[in-house]
Protein backbone atom coordinates (compact mmCIF):
# COMPACT_ATOMS: atom_id res chain seq x y z
CA UNK A 1 0.00 0.00 0.00
CA UNK A 2 1.39 3.41 -0.93
CA UNK A 3 0.77 6.72 0.75
CA UNK A 4 -1.46 9.19 -0.98
CA UNK A 5 0.24 12.51 -1.76
CA UNK A 6 -1.23 14.35 1.27
CA UNK A 7 -0.08 11.56 3.62
CA UNK A 8 3.38 11.60 2.04
CA UNK A 9 3.62 15.35 2.43
CA UNK A 10 2.55 15.34 6.08
CA UNK A 11 4.88 12.48 7.00
CA UNK A 12 7.89 13.99 5.26
CA UNK A 13 7.17 17.37 6.83
CA UNK A 14 6.85 15.86 10.30
CA UNK A 15 10.19 14.08 9.83
CA UNK A 16 11.86 17.28 8.63
CA UNK A 17 10.52 19.29 11.56
CA UNK A 18 11.64 16.66 14.05
CA UNK A 19 15.13 16.83 12.55
CA UNK A 20 15.13 20.63 12.70
CA UNK A 21 14.05 20.70 16.35
CA UNK A 22 16.82 18.26 17.24
CA UNK A 23 19.41 20.28 15.31
CA UNK A 24 18.23 23.48 17.02
CA UNK A 25 18.39 21.80 20.44
CA UNK A 26 21.94 20.67 19.67
CA UNK A 27 22.83 24.23 18.57
CA UNK A 28 23.60 23.10 15.03
CA UNK A 29 20.96 25.60 13.90
CA UNK A 30 21.19 28.93 15.69
CA UNK A 31 19.43 31.44 13.44
CA UNK A 32 16.07 31.75 11.73
CA UNK A 33 17.86 31.92 8.37
CA UNK A 34 19.60 28.60 9.04
CA UNK A 35 16.32 27.00 10.05
CA UNK A 36 14.55 28.27 6.96
CA UNK A 37 17.42 27.12 4.74
CA UNK A 38 17.34 23.64 6.26
CA UNK A 39 13.55 23.47 5.99
CA UNK A 40 13.50 24.54 2.34
CA UNK A 41 16.76 22.81 1.33
CA UNK A 42 15.37 20.49 -1.34
CA UNK A 43 12.35 22.52 -2.43
CA UNK A 44 9.84 20.05 -1.01
CA UNK A 45 8.72 22.51 1.67
CA UNK A 46 8.44 26.28 1.79
CA UNK A 47 7.31 28.69 4.46
CA UNK A 48 5.02 30.25 1.87
CA UNK A 49 2.85 27.12 2.22
CA UNK A 50 0.28 27.59 5.01
CA UNK A 51 0.46 23.85 5.82
CA UNK A 52 4.17 24.19 6.52
CA UNK A 53 3.73 27.30 8.67
CA UNK A 54 0.95 25.60 10.67
CA UNK A 55 3.08 22.49 11.18
CA UNK A 56 6.00 24.66 12.34
CA UNK A 57 3.74 26.30 14.91
CA UNK A 58 2.50 22.91 16.13
CA UNK A 59 6.11 21.71 16.40
CA UNK A 60 7.04 24.68 18.58
CA UNK A 61 9.17 26.35 15.91
CA UNK A 62 6.97 29.44 15.52
CA UNK A 63 9.50 31.70 17.27
CA UNK A 64 11.97 30.91 14.48
CA UNK A 65 9.56 32.03 11.76
CA UNK A 66 8.92 35.66 12.64
Q: What is the DSSP letter of 12?
A: H
pLDDT at 7: 86
Q: Is the dihedral of CA 32, 34, 35, 40 positive or negative?
A: positive
Residue 1 has pLDDT above 60, yes or no: no
How many domains does the structure of the chain reveal?
Answer: 1
Q: What is the extent of the structural domain holding 11?
A: 5-64
Task: Give the integer Cα–Cα distance in Å for 21 and 25.
Answer: 6
Q: In this predicted structure, what is the pLDDT of residue 62?
A: 84
**Is pTM, for the whole model, over 0.85?**
no
Please give the full DSSP string across 38-61, using - where no structure is assigned.
Answer: HHTTTSS--TTSHHHHHHHHHTT-
Q: Cβ-count burial of 13 within 10 angstroms (0-12 exposed, 13-18 middle, 19+ buried)? A: buried
Instruction: Tell me the pLDDT tens digit for each residue of 8-50.
Output: 899 999 999 999 999 999 999 999 999 999 999 999 999 999 9
Amino acid sequence: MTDSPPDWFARRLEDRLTDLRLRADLKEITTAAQLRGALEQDGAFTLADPRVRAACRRAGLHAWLD
